[in-house]
Structure 1
């Protein structure tokens, strides 16, 4: 009897028949229903298997059972019988010379018993039982195959109470507000002090403005560079309104007991989206603070919330298909704090200290490997006793498409690590930001590719947002690399790069970067918000996890 947890109820099957007969050959295909296909706990039954007729059975673990014992008994002794427990994959390791390469197995004459623990396998709930006999010249060999479903479905990772999970994700929103208040207020005080020192001392070498397009307002020396960050605040607020609208509609559907809101599509948790909107607004505020007096000492103000934006976007992508096992808000923000700490060390020690770059590159490579392992095993990887099986899976990976994409991602991260170790860029904050942005783009590309590989669609609205994001980011980066000033050199060298205003005789190239980057981030957020809208009418036990 099929259940919702067994995946799609209808699947295509192809039968190819080849013959050397000169004329057409007729054949008949007999399809019969397998009795006792779904095994029951503590229910025994008899079956017969032959070399030409292997038998298959399905077993579902009860939710309160962590382990079961598989018992096999035969009235006659077969000296070459084997009982094997392994993951379901192609090809099945059902030969004498390869059965030991996957899972666990026992030889058997009349009795066999294997203890199977849920935690050792990917799905933890579904098992496929295959009985196959092979005939040799003088003996009949019975192979008892017990396998595990290779594909996790969203229903397997969305079992916790929705209200508890929603409260968990709302902590992201409240925590980022607290962080923003404690971070921004001292920053505002510091940059105002910088601006005051410039006016009191008359030293124009303290701040690295584009002096050919610096329009003062009150005590602010370059008001245009501050005003251009208003786009981040406005678009961040607009994104919050869009998320709030979706949140209200979803809550109304839940209150009305709408089955499509409760059992279909990706589980809707909006806490991370709210946090992303606040982060976009705070990026505008902190970028404006940096441009009050841009210099080497306060450049990190302009990048700190960019790290958070990139990190929150990656967490949101992961949370979409793993709603029950995502990182807590406290652990996530603690990780961001660690990143900012490393960035401070890089700014202070990264110029000439070899030891720093060696340690940082090693941590970078190990972190990329650890995250790749977590993604490859869909959040279910644990270091246990099956080390040989893990090593064998490296050389013959069951998820080949996922392995190829993750190898490409690791190569990019290793390139960054060795580039930093060899060239030691002075602008460590931008170098760190480049790592985060590249990893976000890689993960987004991985997600979209795996989505298409799972026969899912990208609807017109997210498609338009993806194209708009790519176009606007390309235009934004063009203006970003115009280099109108640079605190990496002396103030006099920086002024050699200054240029006149190009928009309304008020905004320069860097201001246009602010406008376009805010727009690009807004479209990027819309991509994450709408990317899985095509699944709203799909049952969760048919949505693949990757």
Structure 2
């Protein structure tokens, strides 16, 4: 009977089985032998004892399994369409040293879950961690019926010939479905992950899932997954689908209803086998990659709460608030401009000189509301002698006392097409007299404003055109890169790529943190407003030159607006690049946020220096080359600076040498050469001035500034060498800001010391800007996230929104810092307005 059944079973599926009896006899005998052996082996395989038991929930089953027996536990439970209950399978294997693990297979209606015990999870360097106690929650596929009874089976088997004891328990999970705004506590471990279901209530489109713990370690992962089977809830597969992020104490993910067709999702929490991903130490480095390591006790108590996020009305309020703040500056500027025009109109009626007479012919000086002290007297005497000497050189001489207003008017009408930047010194006396003029003990603006206005205007316009070109070529690849970053985040679901403040990150479209991008609007709008203010002043000044206005021609600080245009453009680009950085903030693109900050600081210092030194200020090419070097070191510092002492030594040496070279350049007004004989000249100066006659410095004020500047920069270099701060970009920016503040303070002190005064508008701008900078720095140092640490450690600093439930502390920093920068620019633009009616040979250079 056995042979007959075997013959039928072996041949009923074969084509041509009916022809088997027609073959030769020996072939039939051979085929019968093969079939007999196969059937015999099948009979032997079927000798394994299979036992099926009807099992119940919340009952612990103690049993033993070997290769000769297999146990099947049959469970049934009622599933309701309106209620989801979790089912959890817990397994504990007490036997050690078994040659084969136990395999558990859970067969459900629409899913199969299998796992072995001991469970082997791998960590860094392929280390293996065994776990003998497991707890897994079963996937619950949805049902369309109002109520139905579902069956599932737990199969227990092994290939080990030795008996292995195990415990099996199946229980229902209480509070498997999370409730809105209700905290739920649970315990998880690497071998006992947990996940829960959340259903979007009606009227709620976005929620924030927050998971927290009182302890940093062990490191864990929270994941948001769609309702499907299987659920990826182990350390080695949790990143396969959905959104996920590592966490220590805090984790938060914003979930949108539109991303889940069933309007529900799973919140999965997995404890990792190692803490390296969260910044923790590795407990043990194995001698061999395949060596088993004791997993230890890595259970963690966590809390989860799901809260509704903001609705569309809050988005609209946030955008209107942002626009309203900065549009108010436009209205305020328009009001101040109207009042200023009315005041200047009355002033021109009182003090305007005849248009065809120079101050020398009228015997009067332009109206000045005050008299200057000894500095101005010395400047006036010395510069008059120099002007008298240079007045006889040529008919085109730009002497202040001999050149007529008609010639000035004609020169303004000439075409600028033939003017080249190389033609800086257009006067015959420039090359012969500048060594004498620039080395006088007391200098006036007239001594350093001797070059043709057309040449200087074109020279400083290059600043604007260069920075506009840099902005285009810099911004386009940046925008492309951050779009790629955001796409990668959205596709992979890896929330560790970007360092957001996840407790206040409001998505819009493909953007994960729209509020951080929107708050940068102030830089763009206020930068544009500053450009409009500068353009208005430029037009007014050109009109004054055309009508041969005395004050515009021979009084005040020379008006060159190229650097101001460059500053306004840099402020707008700072807003654009900061917005790009906040699309996906991390350490690889932090230089996007700081590059134009370096440029703004550098341009402000250049503008301060240009006010009193228009003839000898740096060219745009030199300035941008230096700024490019700064940005280059910023990138090197971010990539290689962390803990690299060689880099810090090299940078500190370069920093000190650059400070010394710049100090020499400023002290001697550019009248020195960096060549092979520089060391010999330095020794000679030290010998003659310090040893032989011990004379003091000729230029006391400049020496005081440069000594203070060297003290500050040497101190910063020493700090960097000793502390080696991780955030090199911020350290470099601090150097730039400290130097700018030092020079600005020196400028204000020397301005007041020279008998000059600060007008009301400039004074209001200074006080307002100082107060706003103070509040801005307070919010900047709140530190809601930091890419200097791991993403999990960065999330420990996350905090909720504090303004309109839409903006966080860093957004307020964006608001205030943009206003403060705009105010700083206005200070530079207006601080010397008191000199507009003062002859340049009475304005002191410092």
- State TM-score, norm by structure 2: 0.48
2:498 equivalent in structure 1: 207
Provide Cα deviations, 1:438-467, integer angstroms capped at 9, x if missing partner. 111111111111212222111111111111
| Distance of aligned partners of 1:263 and 1:482 in 2 relative to their CA distance in 1, 3 Å threshold | same
For 1:374 and 1:403, locate their aligned partners in 2 and report how far apart those are by CA, in whole Å.
12
2:575 maps to 1:284 = yes
1:513 matched to 2:813: yes
User: What is the aligned partner in structure 2 of residue 329 from structure 1?
Assistant: 620
In the alignment, the residues of structure 2 paired with residue 312 and residue 533 of structure 1 have an alpha-carbon distance, to the nearest angstrom, of 20
Task: Look up the match of 1:189.
Answer: 480
Pairwise CA distance, 1:542: 1.2
2:313 is matched with none
1:231 paired residue among 499, 516, 522:
522
In the other structure, the counterpart of 1:81 is none
Following TM superposition, the consecutive aligned residue runs of length 4 or more in structure 1 with deviations greater than 6 angstroms are 10-13, 57-60, 117-123, 383-386
- Deviation track 1:376-434 (CA, whole Å, cap 9, x = no partner) reads 33444457786534655566112334322321221111111011111111111111111
Q: Give yes or no for contact 2:501–2:798 (8 Å, CA) kept in 1.
A: yes
Instruction: Verify: 1:168 aligned to 2:459, yes or no.
Output: yes
The structural deviation recorded for 1:353 is: 2.5
Higher normalized contact order (CA 8 Å, seq sep 6+, divided by chain length): 1
Separation in 2, partners of 1:118, 1:518: 42
| Structure 1 partner of 2:736 | 436
Distance 1:120 1:257 in 2: 30
Q: Distance in 1 between matches of 2:701 and 2:669?
A: 14
SS in 2 for 1:297: coil
Conserved 8 A contact 1:351-1:426: yes
The match for 1:479 is 779
Q: Any idea what SS the aligned residue of 2:545 has?
A: helix
Summarize the Cα distance change of 1:118–1:224 in structure 2 as closer, same or farther, 3 Å threshold: closer
**What is aligned with 2:603?**
312
1:159 & 1:335 partners in 2: Cα distance? 26
Q: Is the 8 A contact 1:232 1:284 kept in 2?
A: yes
Q: Residue deviations 1:214-272, cap 9 Å, x none? A: 10000000000000000000000000010011000000000001111011111100000
What is the match of residue 258 of structure 1? 549
Give the superposition deviation at 1:325.
Answer: 1.3
Contact preservation (8 Å) 1:172, 1:272: yes
Q: CA deviation at 1:370?
A: 1.9
Q: Distance in 1 between matches of 2:390 and 2:467?
A: 40
- Are 2:584 and 1:298 equivalent residues in the alignment? no
Q: In structure 2, what is the equivalent of residue 498 of structure 1?
A: 798
The equivalent position to 1:219 in structure 2, one of 498, 510, 517, is 510
Kept in 1, the 8 Å contact 2:372–2:755? The answer is no
Quote the Cα distance in structure 2 between the aligned partners of 1:438 and 1:458.
23
Aligned to 2:489: 198
Distance 1:368 1:202, change over 3 A: same
| Structure of larger gyration radius | 2
CA distance in 1 between partners of 2:773 and 2:569 (Å): 21
CA distance in 2: counterparts of 1:237 and 1:288, whole angstroms: 16
1:448 matched to which residue of 2?
748
CA contact (8 A) 2:769 2:824 kept: yes
Structure-2 residue corresponding to 1:52: none
Unaligned runs of 5+ in 1: 14-36, 39-56, 66-116, 127-147
Cα 1:170–1:415 change in 2 (3 A) is same
CA distance, structure 2, for counterparts of residue 509 and residue 480 of structure 1: 7
Aligned to 1:142: none
CA contact (8 A) 1:62 1:125 kept: no
1:124 counterpart (436, 444, 449): 436
Kept in 1: contact 2:373–2:755 (CA 8 A) = no
1:406 aligns with 2:735: no
Structure 2 equivalent of residue 489 of structure 1 = 789
Question: Structure 1 residues 118 and 257 mapped into 2: Cα distance closer, same or farther (>3 Å)?
Answer: closer
Contact 1:123 1:150 in 2 (8 A): no
1:268 & 1:152 partners in 2: Cα distance?
Answer: 19
Match of 1:528 in 2: 828
Deviation for aligned residue 1:63: 7.4
CA RMSD of aligned residues (A): 2.8
**Matching residue of 1:159:** 450
2:719 counterpart SS class: helix
* Structure 1: distance between partners of 2:472 and 2:634: 21
**Does the CA contact (< 8 Å) of 1:308 and 1:336 recur in 2?**
yes
Residues 378 and 545 in structure 1, CA contact (< 8 A), matched pair in contact too: no
Q: 1:403 aligns to what SS in structure 2?
A: helix
What SS does the aligned partner of 1:150 have?
Answer: coil
Aligned match of 2:636 in 330, 345, 363? 345
Distance 1:374 1:63, change over 3 A: farther
* Contact 2:372–2:756 (CA under 8 A) maintained in structure 1: no
Paired residues, number = 427
**Distance in 2 between the 1:212 and 1:399 partners?**
57
CA separation of 1:273 and 1:118: change in aligned 2, threshold 3 A: closer
CA contact (8 A) 1:425 1:431 kept: yes
Superposed displacement of residue 122, structure 1: 8.1
Aligned counterparts of 1:424 and 1:446: Cα–Cα separation in 2: 30
Bigger proportion of residues as strand: 2
Equivalences for residues 421-432 of structure 1 within 5 A: 421-432=721-732
3-state secondary structure, aligned to 2:629: helix
CA distance in 2, matches of 1:482, 1:409: 29
CA contact (8 A) 1:118 1:125 kept: no
Aligned match for 1:418, one of 700, 713, 718? 718
Aligned to 1:110: none
1:26-41 alignment runs, 5 A limit: none
User: Any unmatched runs of 5+ in structure 2?
Assistant: 1-359, 375-380, 394-428
Q: Separation in 1 of the partners of 2:648 and 2:487? A: 37
Counterpart CA distance in 2 for 1:336 and 1:267 is 25
Question: Quick one: structure 1 residues 179 and 171, their matched pair in 2 at CA, closer, same or farther if it must change by over 3 Å?
Answer: same
1:101-120 aligned within 5 A: none
